[in-house]
């Protein structure tokens, strides 16, 4: 039986708030998505090996001046509130120069993905690069056009131009648009002042300057510029680059989760958990899920997932749904959602229905205390720290 924690008042820290039941619709059958053999979850950590076991009680968080807060402030200065990648095409590297402003390594994608898991940033596809299948370590490629008859690269693109005023039609080479304000129609000798309005392009084709062949479609190849060879467009490999957009432009210092994640990690380790940050875990369906905090008891092998989300407009059912999918697929012993944001209507009943425990407090120190209380109650009877 799961226990749902609501926001507590300052005068009553010993009781759990009881909320009225809300109707849950459309999700009763979601667990049927994850059918398969009950394989053990496989964890692949992105971070360095976890620190040595810490048994002391965690210190309460101090006012945060961490990198995450600095990064939010830097993103808020940008017009589109988006961190964009810089691609070194010759070296095949991608990095984010903005990270250097907070003293972070510019290619630390794992750090940005951690902020995505926390609900601070939104990951978006920025660009799809097509790279050489033989040398995928370089992103530098260019398009080349070849004559289908003699395979020369000396190919010109020709257009058929029509002067709307007099109906004269000829190849684009017969029009001189070197001076856009004084272009003259070869037929009626009138000045063409507005190309877009006065000229129509009814056709287009190519011509080879070497063999004079005219054709509708040139042979298109991609050229690996670093290693000087062509490759077919269908054989190229795709490399996806991502940008990271601030989900809410009014996110404040309270949105920083770096410090609380570290404190929660220490707390779990103090209860004899093997705990890690920003872990990729494969669920029963074979899908991989990004988990902000994952812990496994060294004594009982019971597991816990902790998600941290902060939204200026409160935690809604879409936030809960994003947790529900990995929760059902991984099937941990317990799942926690902690937040300094408010809880919108229907969220608590949804969490209770699917065994996702909510802890909502106004500051991080209260959250740490509530999580410690929860872990004591949930794991002390099962062999954990007492």
Residue 115, classed as helix, strand or coil, is: helix
Q: Collect all residues with Cβ–Cβ distance below 8 Å to 330 and sequence separation of at least 6.
A: 41, 281, 283, 284, 289, 291, 303, 305
pLDDT at 256: 57
For the beta carbon of residue 365, count every other beta carbon within 10 angstroms. 16
| 223 and 209, same domain (yes or no) | no
- How many domains are there within the chain? 3
Locate the DSSP E strands across 194-287.
199-208, 214-215, 219-224, 229-231, 237-246, 273-282
pLDDT at 22: 40
- pLDDT tens for 112-133 read 988 887 778 889 999 988 889 9
Give the structural domain span for 2. 1-64+256-386
- pLDDT tens for 318-370 read 888 888 888 999 999 999 999 888 888 888 988 898 899 999 987 788 899 99
Residue indicated by tokens 């935690």: 315
| 111 and 235, same domain (yes or no) | yes
Global pTM value: 0.46
pLDDT surpasses 70 at 201:
yes
| H helix runs in 179-305, sequence order | 195-198, 258-270
Question: How far is 246 from 122, CA to CA, in rounded Å?
Answer: 6
| 123 and 244, same domain (yes or no) | yes
Query: What is the per-residue DSSP string for 44-103?
Result: EE-SSPPPPP--SPPPPPPPP--HHHHHHHHHHTSTT-EE--EEETTTTEEE-GGGGGGT
Confirm if 56 and 270 have CB atoms less than 8 A apart: yes
Q: Looking at residue 320, which CATH number applies to its domain?
A: 3.40.1350.10
| 234 and 339, same domain (yes or no) | no
| 53 and 157, same domain (yes or no) | no
| 295 and 198, same domain (yes or no) | no
For the beta carbon of residue 117, count every other beta carbon within 10 angstroms. 23
Of 284, 369, 298, give the one whose Cα is nearest residue 329.
284
| 222 and 85, same domain (yes or no) | yes
Q: Collect all residues with Cβ–Cβ distance below 8 Å to 87 and sequence separation of at least 6.
A: 93, 94, 127, 129, 139, 241
Q: What is the DSSP letter of 228?
A: T
Confirm if 335 and 323 have CB atoms less than 8 A apart: yes
| 32 and 159, same domain (yes or no) | no
The residue from 248, 264, 296 where one domain ends is 248
- The token pair at 328 is 């059902």
pLDDT surpasses 70 at 278:
yes
pLDDT at 96: 95
pLDDT at 363: 78
| 287 and 197, same domain (yes or no) | no
Confirm if 146 and 219 have CB atoms less than 8 A apart: yes
Backbone angles phi, psi at 48, to 5 degrees: -60, 165
- pLDDT tens for 261-277 read 888 999 999 999 999 98
Torsion angle of C-alpha atoms 60, 62, 63, 69, degrees rounded to 10: -90
Confirm if 319 and 309 have CB atoms less than 8 A apart: yes
Overall average pLDDT of the 141-149 stretch: 93
| 109 and 238, same domain (yes or no) | yes
| 30 and 57, same domain (yes or no) | yes
- 134's enclosing H/E stretch is none
Q: Collect all residues with Cβ–Cβ distance below 8 Å to 182 and sequence separation of at least 6.
A: 191
| 171 and 54, same domain (yes or no) | no
Residue 130, classed as helix, strand or coil, is: strand
Question: Which region, left, alpha or beta, applies to residue 364 given φ > 0 means left and ψ of -120 to 50 means alpha?
Answer: alpha
Torsion angle of C-alpha atoms 205, 210, 213, 215, degrees rounded to 10: -30
Please state which of the ranges 60-74, 126-140, 161-175, 349-363 shows the lowest mean pLDDT.
60-74
């Amino acid at each position: 039986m799961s226990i749902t924690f609501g926001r507590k008042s300052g005068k009553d820290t010993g009781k759990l708030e009881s909320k009225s039941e809300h109707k849950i619709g459309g999700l009763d059958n979601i667990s049927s998505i994850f059918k398969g053999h009950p394989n053990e979850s496989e964890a692949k950590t992105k971070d360095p090996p976890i620190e040595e076991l810490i048994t002391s009680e965690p210190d309460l968080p101090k006012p945060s001046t961490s990198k995450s807060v600095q990064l939010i402030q830097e993103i808020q200065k940008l017009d589109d509130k988006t961190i964009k990648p810089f691609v070194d095409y010759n070296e095949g590297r991608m990095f984010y120069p903005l990270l250097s402003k907070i003293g972070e390594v510019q290619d630390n994608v794992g750090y940005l993905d951690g902020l995505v898991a926390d609900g601070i940033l939104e990951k978006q596809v920025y660009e799809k690069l097509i790279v050489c299948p033989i040398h995928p370590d370089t992103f530098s490629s260019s398009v080349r056009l070849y004559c289908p008859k003699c395979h020369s690269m000396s190919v010109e693109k020709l257009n058929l131009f029509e002067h709307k005023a007099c109906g004269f039609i000829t190849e684009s080479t017969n029009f001189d648009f070197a001076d856009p304000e004084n272009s003259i129609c070869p037929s009626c000798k009138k000045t063409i002042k507005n190309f877009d309005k006065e000229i129509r392009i009814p056709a287009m084709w190519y011509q080879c300057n070497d063999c004079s062949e005219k054709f509708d479609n040139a042979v298109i190849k991609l050229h690996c510029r670093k290693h000087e060879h062509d490759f077919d467009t269908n054989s190229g490999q795709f490399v996806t680059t991502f940008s990271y957009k601030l989900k809410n432009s009014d996110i404040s210092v309270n949105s920083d989760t770096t410090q609380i994640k570290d404190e929660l990690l220490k707390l779990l380790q103090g209860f004899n958990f093997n705990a890690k940050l920003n872990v990729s875990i494969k669920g029963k369906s074979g899908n991989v899920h990004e988990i902000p905090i994952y812990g496994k008891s060294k004594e009982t092998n019971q597991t816990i997932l902790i998600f941290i989300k902060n939204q200026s407009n409160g935690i809604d059912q879409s936030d809960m749904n994003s947790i529900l999918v990995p929760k059902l697929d991984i099937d941990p012993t317990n799942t926690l959602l902690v937040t300094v944001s408010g809880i919108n209507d229907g969220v608590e009943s949804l969490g209770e229905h699917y065994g996702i425990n909510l802890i909502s407090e106004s500051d991080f120190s209260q959250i740490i205390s509530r999580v410690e209380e929860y872990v004591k109650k949930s794991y002390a009877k099962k062999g954990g720290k007492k």
